[in-house]
Copies of this chain bind each other. A is one copy, B any other.
Amino acid sequence: MKFTILKDELNESIQHVSKALSSRTTIPILTGIKLDADETGVVLTASDTEISIRSHIPAEREGEIIVTLEKSGSIVIPGKLFSELIRKLPSDHVEFTLLDSHHVLIRSGSTELQMAGLDPEEYPLLPTLREDRMFSISSDLLKKMIRETIFAVSTNESTPVLTGVLWTLNDGVLKFVATDRHRLSTTENRLDGAEGLSFHHVVISGKNLSELYKLLSDQSQQIDVVVSDSQVLFKIDRLLFYTRVLDGTYPDISRIIPQACQTEMVVPTKQFHDAMDRAYLLSREEKTNIVKLFTSGSNTIELSSSLTELGRMTEQIEAESITGQEVRISFNSRYMLDALKSIDSEYIHIGFTGPMSPILVHPREHQRLLHLILPYRTSG
């Protein structure tokens, strides 16, 4: 193996694949980044068995030479050190020469580095996915849907399937669901051209989705998503992002969402969020996060934290409208804050379905994005 590569291109690819580098040294080969060089360019691969990322650096782009190949070959290089070193090299170009199966010579300007690598033959193969179950989604929409649900996944590893987000695709509508049993968030959007494909039980770990999130652009770049029973592959420009699918049966949520509300209110999102944020600060100090909400005839909503050793906070917010019965309910302010942060609309709709039934929160305009929060049992 011998090739010269533009430092900045190499560096960018290293930063991308590094997100999949394993920090555990139980599988030493996975602490490395694999380099494969051939006439099409250089491919970098990193994997921690949960996610795998592959980045292709083309030999040339728009007439600019990026990789000059003298001899094809592969090597696995210790990932963390490699990523720090390449960034700091003095020249715009970096030359790689394989000395023997385990050592590589890296040269850049007046810097010369002999590095012990690992055997590329030992590096695990990435899964091969049949591409018949594939759909496209724009990266900004995918980011939005992740942001709208990911906070509601369970952090409790005793039910692993709940640490993931459930994906379903049916009649061209992609739907995400996340729940930790105390709250539930769900969002759905119609995808053009996905009518022919359907799946009902693909659960992707919240941690893996948050790594994917970091790689996605805020632009409306098209992402191809390939779904198999055990893996999902995201094709992002020159990057391939593989994530494992979680085992286990996701609970049936169809009967959890109540249909009838006893009280409904429309509230300005920002004011409600800011008041909740202050109430949360005080409720957090007592570790329960309990906030009380009540109405009393007018359009004024009162929020209050419980009276504790530290004190008591009350907030008043003017609702746009309140219809139905008076409300007197307690809930987790952190859950409400998380839900509010995911809503862009100027006004939210809050529905109360009973003293021990879920509170429904969604944008005033639609229910494609819907959050459920279970209230606390109140004393008196």
Chain A residues with a Cβ under 8 A of chain B? 78, 81, 84-85, 88-90, 103, 110-116, 271, 274-275, 277-278, 281-282, 285, 307, 309-317
Contact = CB atoms under 8 A, between A and B. Distances in A.
Nearest to A305: B113
28 contacts: A78-B310, A81-B281, A81-B282, A81-B285, A81-B310, A84-B281, A85-B278, A85-B281, A88-B274, A88-B277, A88-B278, A89-B278, A90-B275, A103-B311, A110-B315, A110-B316, A111-B275, A111-B315, A112-B313, A113-B282, A113-B311, A113-B312, A113-B313, A113-B314, A114-B311, A114-B312, A114-B313, A115-B310
A116 B278 contact: no
A317 B111 CA distance: 9
Contacts of A277: 88
How many copies of the polypeptide does the oligomer hold? 2
Contacts of A316: 110
A110 B317 contact: yes
Given A84-B281, A116-B310, 11 more contacts: A81-B285, A85-B281, A88-B274, A90-B274, A90-B275, A110-B275, A111-B278, A112-B313, A114-B311, A116-B309, A116-B311
A112 B317 CA distance: 12
Main secondary structure of the interface of A (DSSP, over half): mixed
A250 B85 CA distance: 40
A118 to B, nearest CB: 11
A286 to B, nearest CB: 11
A202 B285 CA distance: 41
A311 B112 CA distance: 11
Nearest to A113: B313
A102 B378 CA distance: 29
A29 to B, nearest CB: 15
A153 B307 CA distance: 47
Nearest to A104: B311
A116 B315 CA distance: 18
Nearest to A110: B316
